[in-house]
Amino acid sequence: MDEATPVEVEATKEPSPDKSRAWGGIDLGGTKIEAVIIDASGTVLGQTRHPTPGDGSPGDVVKAMYGALREAARAAGLTPQQLAGVGVGAPGSVDANGGTLAHVSNVGKGWSDPYPVAGDLGDLVEGRVVIGNDVQVAVAAEYRLGAGRPYRSVLGVWWGTGVGGGLVLDGTPWRGRGAAGEIGHVVVKPGGARCGCGRRGCMEAYAGRASMERRARKAERRGEKTLLFELMRKKGRPRLTSSVWAKALEHEDALATRLIDRAVMMLGAGLASAINLLDVEAVILGGGLGTRLGPGFADRIHEAMAPHIFVPERQPPVLLAELGELSGAIGAALLAEPPMK
């Protein structure tokens, strides 16, 4: 849910004759903004991906979100003003009722205070905008339309710039008091590595792509050889994106391999602890790194969980997100106006 490429627009289907029966969804990530337009059956009519402004203010980020939505709507033969509703899946602390987003560390310049994302975007689209946690809406989409369909209870883990999570328990999305599913901030090593949230020992401090990049940069400054930054420059990226990590692994880069191996180990320990507590039927793996690295790494995470599972004969499978990198944007659109009753 994170990697950006230059603007790309794809129309996947003829637009719905009833233009009021189309919804927009925006997945806001650390390096990319993904936008889709769906119809009442959940079919994607148009999609686009824009880079997230690397040093943008919250207002700049909202403008970039609108730009992505406008491109996706154009691919569907619509304008944003013709949509029945728009949903946004975003990281950080989401106040769905107030439409604000706070404590965002991996987007633009980052911000702590609540910002009226739904209100600002609503002014641009001239319509209704709702906001939800990025991973929670992605997991809800996978539960309804993707890998979670055979199950009643699932845990989603979105491995990308950070490590996010979402829960569906007995058919109901579980949000607790608003912050349930923050699997990335399960402590896997007390007093361990510093996390972007400011605490120590979180799973995200070992497995989040932003944390791994910080560690890789330190290693390079110490003189350790790595292809990571050479590959990054060749791809014209300002950050170590998921494709850069995947390419470095293909080249058997020692530093990339070591950091990814450690990430898998910590993911296994943290997810096993969540399984021991919740006993869900399946784990769904998504996010930029999860989808890029693919089924082989879903299997590796499953293996890394095994030593820590309390009831080993009921260890749940780790499944790759079927909707791929569009799960967050589709889930956001479903949040705006669920088209499937």
Q: What is the pLDDT of residues 123-137, one digit of tens each?
A: 999 999 999 988 899
Indicate whether 18 pLDDT > 60: no
Q: What is the CATH number of the domain that holds 77?
A: 3.30.420.40
Residue 41, helix vs strand vs coil: coil
Res 180 pLDDT > 90? no
Let me know whether 330 and 314 are in one domain.
no
What is the pLDDT at residue 297?
Answer: 96
Are 163 and 287 found together in one domain? Answer: yes
Q: What is the pLDDT of residue 341?
A: 45
The residue-averaged pLDDT of 250-259 equals 98
If asked whether residues 182 and 261 sit together in one domain, one would say yes
Domain around 105: 8-137+326-336
The predicted model gives 275-303 an average pLDDT of 96
- Which pLDDT band, with edges at 50, 70 and 90, does 107 fall under? confident
- Whether 339 has a pLDDT exceeding 70, the answer reads no
Write the pLDDT tens digit of every residue in 70-84.
999 999 999 999 999
What pLDDT is attached to residue 41?
A: 84
**What pLDDT is recorded for position 3?**
45
Q: What is the pLDDT of residues 26-44, one digit of tens each?
A: 999 877 899 999 998 889 9
Residue 192, pLDDT score: 96
Per the CB < 8 A criterion, the answer to whether 123 and 61 are in contact is no
* pLDDT for 103: 81
Mean pLDDT highest for which of 15-19, 49-53, 192-196, 218-222? 218-222
pLDDT for 5: 40
Same domain, 304 and 168: yes
Q: What was the pLDDT predicted at 149?
A: 95
Distance from C-alpha of 235 to C-alpha of 241, rounded to nearest angstrom = 10
- Are 266 and 220 members of one domain? yes
Q: What's the mean per-residue pLDDT of the chain? A: 90
- Contact predicate 252/121, CB 8 Å: no
In a domain, 3, yes or no: no
Whole-angstrom CA distances from 105 to 55, 61, 180, 195, 210 are 12, 13, 18, 11, 10
Q: Per mean pLDDT, which of 16-20, 150-154, 236-240 is the most reliable?
A: 150-154
- The partner residues of 202 in beta bridges, in order of sequence, read 187
Say whether pLDDT at 291 is over 70: yes
Place 122 in a pLDDT band, splitting at 50, 70 and 90: very high
Q: Assess whether 172 and 309 both reside in one domain.
A: yes
Task: Give residue 20's pLDDT.
Answer: 61
pLDDT digits (tens, 9 = 90+) for 202-236: 999 999 999 999 999 999 999 999 999 999 999 99
Residue 119 shares a structural domain with residue 155: no
Amino acid residing at 152: R
Q: Are residue 189 and residue 332 in the same domain, yes or no?
A: no
What is the token pair recorded at 74? 């154009």
DSSP type of residue 195: P
Tokens of 99: 């439409």
